[in-house]
Amino acid sequence: MNKKILFFPQNNEHVLNMNPVLEELQKSDFKCEYLDTRAVYKQKLEFNSGCNFSKVFFPELENSFYHLSSIDRIIYIRSVRKVIKSLADEYDLFVFGNDGALQRLVNYYAKKQDKPSVMILDGLVGANKYSYSDVLFQSKEKIKDVKIKAIDSFKYFISKLFSGSSISPYLPSTIGSSNLNEIYTIGDFSKSYIENHKHKTTKVFSFGLPRMRQHFLENETFFIPKKPKSICFITSAYKWHNLDHFHDSQIQDILLIQECINEIYPKDDEIKLYVKLHPRERMEDYDLFKNSKRIQLVVGEPLVETFKNYKLLFSNISTCIVEGVNKGVKVHSILINFPYWKFKNGFLKEPSISKIFTKNELSFRIKNELEEDKVVYDIPVENKFLSAETQNSVKNISESIKKLT
Protein backbone atom coordinates (compact mmCIF):
# COMPACT_ATOMS: atom_id res chain seq x y z
CA MET A 1 0.00 0.00 0.00
CA ASN A 2 1.36 3.43 -0.98
CA LYS A 3 2.38 5.68 1.88
CA LYS A 4 0.33 8.87 2.24
CA ILE A 5 2.04 12.21 2.85
CA LEU A 6 0.21 15.36 3.91
CA PHE A 7 1.65 18.78 3.00
CA PHE A 8 0.51 21.52 5.39
CA PRO A 9 1.31 25.00 3.97
CA GLN A 10 0.42 28.24 5.67
CA ASN A 11 1.44 30.82 3.08
CA ASN A 12 2.40 30.90 -0.58
CA GLU A 13 6.14 30.66 0.05
CA HIS A 14 5.47 27.33 1.76
CA VAL A 15 3.53 26.13 -1.29
CA LEU A 16 6.31 27.19 -3.67
CA ASN A 17 8.77 25.12 -1.63
CA MET A 18 6.44 22.15 -1.38
CA ASN A 19 5.21 21.94 -4.99
CA PRO A 20 8.40 20.45 -6.50
CA VAL A 21 9.03 18.19 -3.49
CA LEU A 22 5.49 16.84 -3.75
CA GLU A 23 5.98 16.14 -7.46
CA GLU A 24 9.30 14.41 -6.81
CA LEU A 25 7.79 12.15 -4.15
CA GLN A 26 4.88 11.25 -6.40
CA LYS A 27 7.38 9.86 -8.89
CA SER A 28 8.27 7.29 -6.23
CA ASP A 29 4.60 6.29 -5.85
CA PHE A 30 3.90 8.18 -2.66
CA LYS A 31 0.35 9.47 -2.42
CA CYS A 32 0.79 13.17 -1.69
CA GLU A 33 -1.99 15.59 -0.80
CA TYR A 34 -2.23 19.19 0.29
CA LEU A 35 -4.20 20.43 3.25
CA ASP A 36 -6.04 23.51 1.99
CA THR A 37 -5.59 26.10 4.72
CA ARG A 38 -7.01 29.13 2.93
CA ALA A 39 -10.11 29.10 5.14
CA VAL A 40 -7.87 29.56 8.18
CA TYR A 41 -5.02 31.85 7.16
CA LYS A 42 -6.72 33.78 4.32
CA GLN A 43 -3.64 33.53 2.11
CA LYS A 44 -3.48 33.28 -1.67
CA LEU A 45 -1.88 29.91 -2.40
CA GLU A 46 -0.48 28.89 -5.81
CA PHE A 47 -0.88 25.12 -5.82
CA ASN A 48 0.34 23.13 -8.80
CA SER A 49 -2.42 22.38 -11.26
CA GLY A 50 -3.76 18.88 -10.86
CA CYS A 51 -2.52 18.42 -7.30
CA ASN A 52 -4.63 16.44 -4.86
CA PHE A 53 -6.18 17.81 -1.69
CA SER A 54 -7.13 16.22 1.58
CA LYS A 55 -10.86 15.73 1.97
CA VAL A 56 -10.52 17.09 5.49
CA PHE A 57 -11.19 20.82 5.84
CA PHE A 58 -10.81 23.30 8.65
CA PRO A 59 -13.87 25.36 9.65
CA GLU A 60 -13.74 28.72 7.91
CA LEU A 61 -12.78 31.80 9.87
CA GLU A 62 -14.12 35.25 9.11
CA ASN A 63 -10.68 36.75 9.67
CA SER A 64 -7.25 35.19 9.51
CA PHE A 65 -6.14 32.99 12.39
CA TYR A 66 -3.31 35.53 12.76
CA HIS A 67 -5.77 38.22 13.77
CA LEU A 68 -7.71 36.28 16.40
CA SER A 69 -7.30 37.23 20.02
CA SER A 70 -5.43 34.78 22.25
CA ILE A 71 -8.70 33.49 23.70
CA ASP A 72 -10.31 33.08 20.27
CA ARG A 73 -7.25 31.19 19.02
CA ILE A 74 -7.50 28.77 21.92
CA ILE A 75 -11.22 28.29 21.26
CA TYR A 76 -10.57 27.62 17.58
CA ILE A 77 -7.73 25.18 18.27
CA ARG A 78 -9.95 23.23 20.65
CA SER A 79 -12.75 23.19 18.08
CA VAL A 80 -10.59 21.49 15.43
CA ARG A 81 -9.05 18.76 17.58
CA LYS A 82 -11.21 16.02 16.04
CA VAL A 83 -10.46 17.29 12.53
CA ILE A 84 -6.74 17.28 13.23
CA LYS A 85 -6.82 13.87 14.88
CA SER A 86 -8.46 12.47 11.74
CA LEU A 87 -5.55 13.85 9.69
CA ALA A 88 -3.06 12.16 11.99
CA ASP A 89 -4.96 8.89 11.58
CA GLU A 90 -5.11 9.08 7.78
CA TYR A 91 -1.57 10.04 6.76
CA ASP A 92 1.81 8.39 7.28
CA LEU A 93 4.07 11.46 7.20
CA PHE A 94 3.59 15.21 7.55
CA VAL A 95 5.41 18.08 5.84
CA PHE A 96 5.04 21.52 7.45
CA GLY A 97 6.11 24.99 6.37
CA ASN A 98 6.39 26.19 9.96
CA ASP A 99 5.43 24.95 13.41
CA GLY A 100 2.60 27.24 14.44
CA ALA A 101 -0.22 26.31 16.78
CA LEU A 102 -2.27 24.14 14.41
CA GLN A 103 0.82 22.45 13.02
CA ARG A 104 1.94 21.60 16.54
CA LEU A 105 -1.43 20.00 17.24
CA VAL A 106 -1.18 17.88 14.08
CA ASN A 107 2.34 16.92 15.10
CA TYR A 108 1.20 16.01 18.62
CA TYR A 109 -1.36 13.51 17.33
CA ALA A 110 1.07 12.21 14.69
CA LYS A 111 3.74 11.56 17.30
CA LYS A 112 1.24 9.67 19.47
CA GLN A 113 1.16 7.18 16.59
CA ASP A 114 4.92 7.38 16.07
CA LYS A 115 4.51 8.97 12.64
CA PRO A 116 7.33 11.13 11.24
CA SER A 117 7.08 14.84 10.52
CA VAL A 118 9.40 17.33 8.83
CA MET A 119 9.51 21.06 8.20
CA ILE A 120 10.74 22.94 5.14
CA LEU A 121 11.52 26.09 7.08
CA ASP A 122 10.99 29.04 4.79
CA GLY A 123 12.98 32.21 5.20
CA LEU A 124 15.66 33.25 7.61
CA VAL A 125 15.73 32.67 11.34
CA GLY A 126 18.45 33.83 13.66
CA ALA A 127 19.17 35.01 17.15
CA ASN A 128 19.06 38.62 18.24
CA LYS A 129 20.92 37.97 21.46
CA TYR A 130 21.61 40.75 23.89
CA SER A 131 22.48 40.63 27.56
CA TYR A 132 21.22 42.42 30.62
CA SER A 133 24.50 44.36 30.57
CA ASP A 134 23.57 45.55 27.04
CA VAL A 135 20.31 46.81 28.49
CA LEU A 136 22.14 48.50 31.36
CA PHE A 137 24.66 50.34 29.18
CA GLN A 138 22.75 50.97 25.95
CA SER A 139 19.02 51.04 26.59
CA LYS A 140 17.22 54.36 26.88
CA GLU A 141 14.31 52.62 28.63
CA LYS A 142 16.07 50.22 30.97
CA ILE A 143 13.10 49.11 33.08
CA LYS A 144 10.98 48.48 30.01
CA ASP A 145 13.74 46.54 28.22
CA VAL A 146 14.54 44.44 31.28
CA LYS A 147 10.87 43.51 31.43
CA ILE A 148 10.79 42.66 27.71
CA LYS A 149 13.89 40.48 27.99
CA ALA A 150 12.53 38.69 31.06
CA ILE A 151 9.20 37.98 29.34
CA ASP A 152 10.94 36.73 26.18
CA SER A 153 13.18 34.45 28.26
CA PHE A 154 10.16 33.07 30.11
CA LYS A 155 8.28 32.42 26.85
CA TYR A 156 11.30 30.59 25.46
CA PHE A 157 11.58 28.49 28.62
CA ILE A 158 7.88 27.58 28.50
CA SER A 159 7.94 26.71 24.79
CA LYS A 160 10.93 24.42 25.28
CA LEU A 161 9.58 22.84 28.46
CA PHE A 162 6.27 21.82 26.90
CA SER A 163 7.51 21.13 23.37
CA GLY A 164 5.68 18.12 21.95
CA SER A 165 3.10 18.05 24.73
CA SER A 166 -0.68 18.32 24.39
CA ILE A 167 -0.65 21.89 25.68
CA SER A 168 2.11 23.11 23.36
CA PRO A 169 -0.36 24.37 20.69
CA TYR A 170 -1.89 26.74 23.25
CA LEU A 171 1.42 28.24 24.38
CA PRO A 172 3.96 30.68 22.91
CA SER A 173 6.32 28.92 20.54
CA THR A 174 9.95 29.10 19.52
CA ILE A 175 10.30 28.28 15.84
CA GLY A 176 11.96 24.95 15.25
CA SER A 177 11.51 23.72 18.83
CA SER A 178 8.75 21.19 18.05
CA ASN A 179 9.59 17.49 18.20
CA LEU A 180 9.91 17.10 14.44
CA ASN A 181 12.07 14.42 12.87
CA GLU A 182 13.86 16.78 10.50
CA ILE A 183 14.06 20.46 9.61
CA TYR A 184 15.39 21.75 6.28
CA THR A 185 16.74 25.31 6.30
CA ILE A 186 17.59 27.96 3.72
CA GLY A 187 21.28 28.02 4.68
CA ASP A 188 23.92 27.68 7.36
CA PHE A 189 22.95 30.87 9.20
CA SER A 190 19.45 29.54 9.92
CA LYS A 191 20.74 26.04 10.58
CA SER A 192 23.08 27.25 13.32
CA TYR A 193 20.19 29.03 15.04
CA ILE A 194 17.86 26.03 14.82
CA GLU A 195 20.58 23.72 16.12
CA ASN A 196 20.58 25.73 19.35
CA HIS A 197 16.79 25.75 19.74
CA LYS A 198 15.60 22.46 18.29
CA HIS A 199 14.10 19.50 20.08
CA LYS A 200 16.73 16.99 21.15
CA THR A 201 15.46 14.39 18.66
CA THR A 202 15.35 16.70 15.63
CA LYS A 203 17.96 16.63 12.86
CA VAL A 204 18.68 19.83 10.92
CA PHE A 205 19.90 20.04 7.32
CA SER A 206 21.05 23.06 5.32
CA PHE A 207 19.61 21.93 1.98
CA GLY A 208 18.37 25.33 0.81
CA LEU A 209 14.83 26.14 -0.28
CA PRO A 210 13.32 24.80 -3.52
CA ARG A 211 11.73 28.16 -4.34
CA MET A 212 15.17 29.79 -4.29
CA ARG A 213 16.65 27.59 -7.02
CA GLN A 214 16.10 30.19 -9.74
CA HIS A 215 18.53 32.53 -7.98
CA PHE A 216 21.34 30.33 -9.28
CA LEU A 217 19.93 30.18 -12.79
CA GLU A 218 19.36 33.85 -13.61
CA ASN A 219 22.18 35.50 -15.55
CA GLU A 220 20.88 39.07 -15.86
CA THR A 221 23.17 41.76 -14.50
CA PHE A 222 20.52 44.46 -14.08
CA PHE A 223 16.83 45.22 -14.50
CA ILE A 224 14.60 48.26 -15.05
CA PRO A 225 12.00 48.66 -12.27
CA LYS A 226 8.37 48.72 -13.37
CA LYS A 227 7.92 51.90 -11.32
CA PRO A 228 11.17 53.78 -11.93
CA LYS A 229 10.63 56.85 -9.72
CA SER A 230 9.53 54.90 -6.70
CA ILE A 231 10.54 53.98 -3.17
CA CYS A 232 9.10 51.07 -1.24
CA PHE A 233 9.16 50.45 2.49
CA ILE A 234 8.51 46.81 3.41
CA THR A 235 6.85 46.52 6.79
CA SER A 236 6.95 43.84 9.47
CA ALA A 237 3.97 42.52 11.46
CA TYR A 238 5.09 43.90 14.79
CA LYS A 239 1.59 44.34 16.16
CA TRP A 240 0.81 40.70 15.48
CA HIS A 241 3.82 39.83 17.64
CA ASN A 242 2.63 42.29 20.33
CA LEU A 243 5.59 44.57 19.59
CA ASP A 244 3.65 47.81 19.36
CA HIS A 245 6.73 49.87 20.23
CA PHE A 246 8.49 48.54 17.11
CA HIS A 247 5.41 49.28 15.02
CA ASP A 248 5.53 52.87 16.26
CA SER A 249 9.21 53.07 15.28
CA GLN A 250 8.33 51.67 11.88
CA ILE A 251 5.74 54.41 11.40
CA GLN A 252 8.34 57.03 12.38
CA ASP A 253 10.73 55.72 9.73
CA ILE A 254 8.05 55.80 7.03
CA LEU A 255 7.33 59.42 7.94
CA LEU A 256 11.06 60.15 7.90
CA ILE A 257 11.40 58.76 4.37
CA GLN A 258 8.47 60.92 3.30
CA GLU A 259 10.14 63.94 4.90
CA CYS A 260 13.38 63.26 3.02
CA ILE A 261 11.53 62.91 -0.29
CA ASN A 262 9.69 66.19 0.28
CA GLU A 263 12.95 67.96 1.09
CA ILE A 264 14.84 66.59 -1.92
CA TYR A 265 11.97 66.68 -4.44
CA PRO A 266 9.54 69.32 -3.12
CA LYS A 267 7.87 69.85 -6.49
CA ASP A 268 8.02 66.32 -7.89
CA ASP A 269 4.73 64.58 -7.14
CA GLU A 270 5.62 61.61 -9.33
CA ILE A 271 7.96 60.16 -6.74
CA LYS A 272 5.85 57.91 -4.56
CA LEU A 273 6.55 56.07 -1.35
CA TYR A 274 4.87 52.67 -1.47
CA VAL A 275 4.34 50.93 1.86
CA LYS A 276 4.07 47.18 1.34
CA LEU A 277 2.15 45.64 4.21
CA HIS A 278 3.07 42.30 5.72
CA PRO A 279 0.36 39.63 5.11
CA ARG A 280 -0.39 39.52 8.83
CA GLU A 281 -1.06 43.24 9.13
CA ARG A 282 -4.30 45.20 9.06
CA MET A 283 -4.93 48.20 6.82
CA GLU A 284 -6.31 50.16 9.76
CA ASP A 285 -2.88 50.09 11.41
CA TYR A 286 -1.81 52.50 8.67
CA ASP A 287 -4.82 54.82 8.61
CA LEU A 288 -2.40 57.68 9.17
CA PHE A 289 -1.40 57.42 5.50
CA LYS A 290 -4.86 56.89 4.04
CA ASN A 291 -5.18 60.37 2.53
CA SER A 292 -1.51 60.96 1.78
CA LYS A 293 -0.62 62.18 -1.71
CA ARG A 294 2.92 60.85 -1.41
CA ILE A 295 2.32 57.50 0.31
CA GLN A 296 0.42 54.54 -1.15
CA LEU A 297 -0.34 51.33 0.74
CA VAL A 298 0.34 48.03 -1.04
CA VAL A 299 -1.50 44.86 0.01
CA GLY A 300 -1.09 41.30 -1.21
CA GLU A 301 1.93 41.89 -3.42
CA PRO A 302 4.34 38.91 -3.54
CA LEU A 303 7.84 39.83 -2.42
CA VAL A 304 9.36 38.67 -5.69
CA GLU A 305 7.18 41.25 -7.45
CA THR A 306 8.17 43.92 -4.94
CA PHE A 307 11.80 43.42 -5.90
CA LYS A 308 10.91 44.01 -9.57
CA ASN A 309 8.53 46.91 -9.11
CA TYR A 310 10.44 49.59 -7.20
CA LYS A 311 13.67 51.49 -7.63
CA LEU A 312 14.67 51.80 -3.98
CA LEU A 313 13.78 49.44 -1.14
CA PHE A 314 13.82 49.98 2.61
CA SER A 315 12.82 48.02 5.69
CA ASN A 316 13.88 47.82 9.33
CA ILE A 317 14.78 44.34 10.58
CA SER A 318 12.66 42.22 8.25
CA THR A 319 14.06 39.01 6.76
CA CYS A 320 13.07 40.43 3.37
CA ILE A 321 16.46 42.18 3.65
CA VAL A 322 18.15 38.79 3.42
CA GLU A 323 15.78 37.73 0.64
CA GLY A 324 17.13 40.77 -1.17
CA VAL A 325 20.74 39.72 -0.54
CA ASN A 326 19.95 36.28 -1.96
CA LYS A 327 18.32 37.86 -4.99
CA GLY A 328 21.08 40.43 -5.46
CA VAL A 329 18.72 43.32 -4.67
CA LYS A 330 19.54 45.71 -1.83
CA VAL A 331 16.89 46.27 0.80
CA HIS A 332 18.40 48.92 3.08
CA SER A 333 17.90 48.44 6.81
CA ILE A 334 16.84 51.71 8.44
CA LEU A 335 17.99 51.71 12.06
CA ILE A 336 17.40 55.35 12.91
CA ASN A 337 14.52 54.69 15.28
CA PHE A 338 15.41 51.08 16.04
CA PRO A 339 17.77 49.94 18.83
CA TYR A 340 20.55 48.37 16.78
CA TRP A 341 22.19 47.04 19.94
CA LYS A 342 19.32 44.55 20.24
CA PHE A 343 19.94 43.17 16.75
CA LYS A 344 23.69 43.56 16.28
CA ASN A 345 24.29 39.84 16.89
CA GLY A 346 21.66 38.71 14.40
CA PHE A 347 21.72 38.73 10.61
CA LEU A 348 22.17 42.51 10.53
CA LYS A 349 25.79 42.10 11.61
CA GLU A 350 26.69 40.64 8.22
CA PRO A 351 28.63 43.07 5.97
CA SER A 352 26.38 42.25 3.02
CA ILE A 353 23.52 44.08 4.77
CA SER A 354 23.21 47.80 3.98
CA LYS A 355 22.45 49.70 7.21
CA ILE A 356 21.32 53.31 7.63
CA PHE A 357 21.76 55.03 11.00
CA THR A 358 21.14 58.74 10.29
CA LYS A 359 18.78 60.96 8.35
CA ASN A 360 21.72 62.26 6.29
CA GLU A 361 22.56 58.72 5.20
CA LEU A 362 18.92 58.14 4.31
CA SER A 363 18.74 61.32 2.22
CA PHE A 364 21.98 60.38 0.47
CA ARG A 365 20.60 56.97 -0.50
CA ILE A 366 17.35 58.42 -1.80
CA LYS A 367 19.00 61.16 -3.85
CA ASN A 368 21.74 59.02 -5.37
CA GLU A 369 19.86 55.82 -6.09
CA LEU A 370 16.78 57.44 -7.59
CA GLU A 371 19.00 59.14 -10.16
CA GLU A 372 19.85 55.78 -11.76
CA ASP A 373 17.45 54.24 -14.27
CA LYS A 374 18.38 50.64 -13.61
CA VAL A 375 19.04 48.38 -10.64
CA VAL A 376 22.28 46.42 -10.86
CA TYR A 377 22.23 43.00 -9.23
CA ASP A 378 24.72 42.74 -6.37
CA ILE A 379 25.38 39.10 -5.48
CA PRO A 380 27.79 38.64 -2.53
CA VAL A 381 30.77 36.37 -3.16
CA GLU A 382 30.19 34.54 0.12
CA ASN A 383 26.59 34.15 1.21
CA LYS A 384 26.02 32.20 4.42
CA PHE A 385 22.30 32.91 4.21
CA LEU A 386 21.76 30.73 1.12
CA SER A 387 22.96 27.14 0.94
CA ALA A 388 25.28 26.15 -1.90
CA GLU A 389 23.11 23.03 -2.14
CA THR A 390 20.01 25.03 -3.08
CA GLN A 391 19.95 23.78 -6.67
CA ASN A 392 19.78 20.21 -5.35
CA SER A 393 17.28 21.04 -2.60
CA VAL A 394 14.32 19.19 -4.12
CA LYS A 395 16.30 15.99 -4.54
CA ASN A 396 17.95 16.22 -1.12
CA ILE A 397 14.73 16.98 0.75
CA SER A 398 12.79 14.29 -1.10
CA GLU A 399 15.43 11.64 -0.47
CA SER A 400 15.60 12.57 3.20
CA ILE A 401 11.81 12.26 3.51
CA LYS A 402 11.82 8.87 1.79
CA LYS A 403 14.23 7.53 4.41
CA LEU A 404 11.73 8.38 7.15
CA THR A 405 8.87 6.37 5.67
Q: What is the pLDDT of residues 134-145, one digit of tens each?
A: 888 888 889 988
Banded model confidence at residue 1, pLDDT cuts 50, 70, 90: low
> Do 367 and 241 share a structural domain?
yes
> Do 340 and 265 share a structural domain?
yes
> Do 157 and 18 share a structural domain?
yes
> Do 287 and 237 share a structural domain?
yes
CATH number of the domain where residue 229 is located: 3.40.50
Q: Are 345 and 134 in contact (CB under 8 A)?
A: no
Closest CA to 105 of 80, 72, 141: 80
Q: What is the pLDDT of residues 304-327, one digit of tens each?
A: 899 999 999 999 998 889 888 888
Question: Does 262 fall in a domain?
Answer: yes
> Do 132 and 14 share a structural domain?
yes
pLDDT greater than 70 at residue 216: no
Does the pTM surpass 0.85? The reply is no
The CA–CA distances, whole Å, from 44 to 12, 13, 55 equal 6, 10, 19
Question: Does 217 fall in a domain?
Answer: no
CATH number of the domain where residue 160 is located: 3.40.50.2000
For residues 158-181, b (16+ Cβ closer than 10 Å) or e, as one string?
bbeebbeeeebbbebbbbbbbbbb
Question: Does 77 fall in a domain?
Answer: yes
Banded model confidence at residue 350, pLDDT cuts 50, 70, 90: confident
Closest CA to 353 of 391, 308, 390, 384: 384
> Do 273 and 185 share a structural domain?
no
> Do 144 and 20 share a structural domain?
yes
Q: What pLDDT, on a 0 to 100 scale, did the predictor assign at position 391?
A: 92
> Do 11 and 157 share a structural domain?
yes
For residues 205-227, b (16+ Cβ closer than 10 Å) or e, as one string?
bbbbbbbbeebeeeeeeeeebee
Return the DSSP state at 203: E
Domain assignment of residue 162, given as a range:
4-212+386-404
